[in-house]
Amino acid sequence: MEVGQMQRQWLDYTRSLFIEGFLDGQFLQLEQLQDDNNPDFVVEVVSLFFQDSHKLLNDLTIALDQKSVDFKKIDAHVHQLKGSSSSIGAQRVKNCCIAFRNFCEEQNTDACLKCLHQVKQECCLVKNKLETLFRLEQQIMAAGGSIPMMELSF
């Protein structure tokens, strides 16, 4: 497959991610921050996010497993997760977190559990999507091409 085709594939895939709501404008901001001084910025930040989120989700799972649920702590964790996800532009994760927080305020354990499950799913999904995207980028770079910039308006 030649470079032009791969680039078009990358563009189409990225577009789909935005259209389906996996990513939002913040992700584009991240891409803008990637330059020659910082060539792997996006990959680094995204990896950091997934590490962080993994830990947070574990903590959340443990916390919600307790007999007496500490909603303050859960709220703090979810707040963290929300902050991180919004920083990288993982829109669906962020939305889930917002919903999660509401249920935390209501102190609704079952709903929280459901939310947690959903958040985990969303994290997984966005992780796969981003991994695919990064793989495509690597292929393009290996073939000697360069990553095209995304248009901001659609």
Partner 1 sequence: MWFKAPESCNCIEPQLPADELLVKYQYISDFFIALAYFSIPLELIYFVKKSAVFPYRWVLVQFGAFIVLCGATHLINLWTFTIHTRTVAMVMTAAKVLTAVVSCITALMLVHIIPDLLSVKTRELFLKNKAAELDREMGLIRTQEETGRHVRMLTHEIRSTLDRHTILKTTLIELGRTLALEECALWMPTRTGLELQLAYTLRQQNPVGYTVPIHLPVINQVFSSNRAVKISPNCPVARLRPHTGKYMPGEVVAVRVPLLNLSNFQIYDWPEVSTRSYALMVLMLPSDSARQWHVHELELVEVVADQVAVALSHAAILEESMRARNMLMEQNVALDLARREAETAIHARNDFLAVMNHEMRTPMHAIIALSSLLQETELTAEQRLMVETILKSSNLLATLINDVLDLSQLEDGSLQLETTTFSLHAVFREVLSLIKPVASVKKLSLTLHLASDLPAYAVGDDKRLMQTILNVVGNAVKFSKEGSISISAVVAKPDSFKDARIPEFHPVPSDSHFYLRVQVKDSGSGINPQDIPKLFTKFAQSQAVTTKGPAGSGLGLAICRRFVNLMEGHIWIESEGIGKGCTVTFIVRLGIPDRSNESKLAFAPKVLGNHVTTNFGGLKVLVMDDNGVNRSVTKGLLLHLGCDVTTAGSSEECLRIISPEHRMVFMDVCTGLDGYELAIRIQEKFKKRQDRPLIVALTGNTNKVTKENCMRVGMDGLILKPVSVDKMRGVLSELLEHRVLFEAI
Provide the binding-site residues for partner 1, judged by CB under 8 A: 4-5, 25-26, 29-30, 32-33, 35, 37-38, 41, 44-45, 48-49, 52, 76, 79-80, 83-84, 86-88, 146, 148-152
Dist CA 26 CA 23 (whole Å): 8
User: Residue 102 or 108: which CB sits closer to partner 1?
Assistant: 102
User: Residue 93 or 133: which CB sits closer to partner 1?
Assistant: 93
Would you call 69 helix, strand, or coil by DSSP?
coil
User: Residue 4 or 21: which CB sits closer to partner 1?
Assistant: 4
Closest distance of CB 98 from partner 1, Å = 11
Could you list the beta-strand ranges (E) of the chain: none
Dist CA 146 CA 141 (whole Å): 6
Answer yes or no: are the C-beta atoms of 70 and 63 closer than 8 Å.
yes
Closest distance of CB 44 from partner 1, Å = 7
Closest distance of CB 71 from partner 1, Å = 15
User: Residue 76 or 99: which CB sits closer to partner 1?
Assistant: 76
Q: How buried is residue 116: exposed, middle or buried, by Cβ count under 10 Å (0-12/13-18/19+)?
A: buried
Distance of CA 83 to the CA centre of its chain: 11
Closest distance of CB 144 from partner 1, Å = 9
Neighbours of 54 (CB within 10 A): 13
